[in-house]
Amino acid sequence: MRLILSGGALFMLACLAPALAQDRLPAAGAPVAFAPVTGLPTPLQSTSGRFSSLNPTKRSSCSISKVSGRVVSAHLIMVNENFCGKGQSGNVLVNVELANPADAAQMSVGKQVTLAANFKDAEESRTSQFYANYLIAEKARLMDAGANTPPTPAFTSYVICQPPELDALAGKLGSELCVQSTLVQNLAATAPALEAAARAPVKVAAEDDVPGDPNAIVCRQDLERSDVHLSSIACARGSYWDWYRSKWRDHLYFAAAPP
């Protein structure tokens, strides 16, 4: 039986480890590392990948029982079709909750897979003007694991809040971090620029231009809160923020983010 936690309980658990770490203050100048938070559900990604949530509300059932899409991670596929009334603006991300956890080994990135599941649509308000939408495949079963389909290169990105690889950096900054997934996947190359950008976040609204090279890493105070439970700094490439500005301005709720 899956434990369903209230939003307040989830918030308390998410904050518990940092609070305990701060009870024992380090020596002056010593780096602070947040203890990893364990036992929480895997955060769900919104249809576009901009937002995440531990437990989005307003869930309703979809009138489909099977869907095909490209694997983005063991917990995500990208679907290029009208799904639960979503997808008119392009590909959408679907959260996969596998009935058999062992099937995760067959969820190779880039593979085309087919899933049968109980499909749900959920929604979460982020501001008075904007909301995040989530598609969830509950008790998902692999009907076709794409054994004969060669994987394709990375084709999208999404925002990860509190990736374990960046606990040390978050500790140095004294802030939670939400980072574009493709930056985390290649930290050997991106870490120096990511840390420099995170130490000097720009203060811009979602509808404003983010200056600089589209390929450069830009961090900003996350006014829209990538994860509703955490106040944070959000880091991504300039091309991502250009996409997000258009998404906000034109209300493209379901358009997937760039790599």
Task: Report which of 192, 225, 38, 16 is spatially closest to residue 124, judged by C-alpha positions.
Answer: 225
**Is 10 part of a structural domain of the chain?**
no
CA gap 28, 228 in Å, rounded? 32
Per-residue pLDDT of the chain (259 residues; tens, 9 = 90+): 333 343 433 333 344 344 333 334 445 455 555 555 555 678 899 988 988 888 888 899 998 899 999 999 999 999 887 778 665 556 789 999 999 999 999 998 889 999 999 999 998 887 666 788 899 999 999 999 888 778 777 678 899 988 889 999 999 998 889 999 999 998 999 999 999 999 999 988 888 888 789 999 999 998 888 888 777 899 999 999 998 888 877 766 667 788 8
Instruction: Based on the fold, state whether residues 184 and 131 are members of the same structural domain.
Output: no
Check if the beta carbon of residue 207 is closer than 8 Å to that of residue 249: yes
Work out the angle at residue 223's Cα, subtended by the Cα atoms of residues 59 and 158, and round it to the nearest 5 degrees.
Answer: 60
Between CA 223 and CA 38, with CA 78 as vertex, the angle to 5 degrees is 60
Q: Residue 113: what are its φ and ψ, rounded to 5°? A: -125, 160
pTM, entire model: 0.77
Residue 153 lies in a domain: no
Is 246 inside a domain boundary? yes
Q: How many independent structural domains does the chain possess? A: 2
Asked if residue 64 belongs to a domain, the reply is yes
Decide if 150 is inside a domain.
Answer: no
Tell me whether residue 152 is in a domain: no
Whether residue 77 is found in the same domain as residue 165 = no
Last residue of a domain, one of 144, 172, 187: 144
Residues 53 and 130 grouped into a single domain? yes
Q: Is residue 259 part of a domain?
A: no
Looking at the structure, tell me whether residues 87 and 55 fall in a common domain: yes
CATH number of the structural domain spanning residue 98: 2.40.50
73 and 127 part of one domain: yes
Instruction: Please tell me whether residues 172 and 197 are part of one structural domain.
Output: yes
> Within this chain, do residues 94 and 168 fall inside the same structural domain, yes or no?
no
Give the end of a domain, one of 86, 109, 144. Answer: 144
Instruction: Find out whether 122 and 56 touch, Cβ atoms under 8 Å.
Output: yes
DSSP 89: T
Say yes or no: 124 and 210 in one domain.
Answer: no
Please, are residues 209 and 25 in contact by the beta-carbon 8 Å criterion? no
Q: Final residue of a domain: which of 74, 109, 144?
A: 144
Backbone angles phi, psi at 119, to 5 degrees: -95, 130
Q: Is 197 helix (H, G, I), strand (E, B) or coil?
A: helix
Chain segment 166-208, per-residue pLDDT in tens: 999 999 998 889 999 999 998 999 999 999 999 999 988 888 8
Q: Are residues 113 and 171 in the same domain?
A: no
Give the pLDDT score at 247: 80
- Helix and strand counts by DSSP (H, E) for the chain: 5, 12
Domain that holds residue 112: 44-144
Alpha-carbon separation of residue 60 from 57, 90, 136, 139, 187 (angstroms): 9, 22, 10, 15, 38
Could you tell me if residue 5 is inside a domain? no
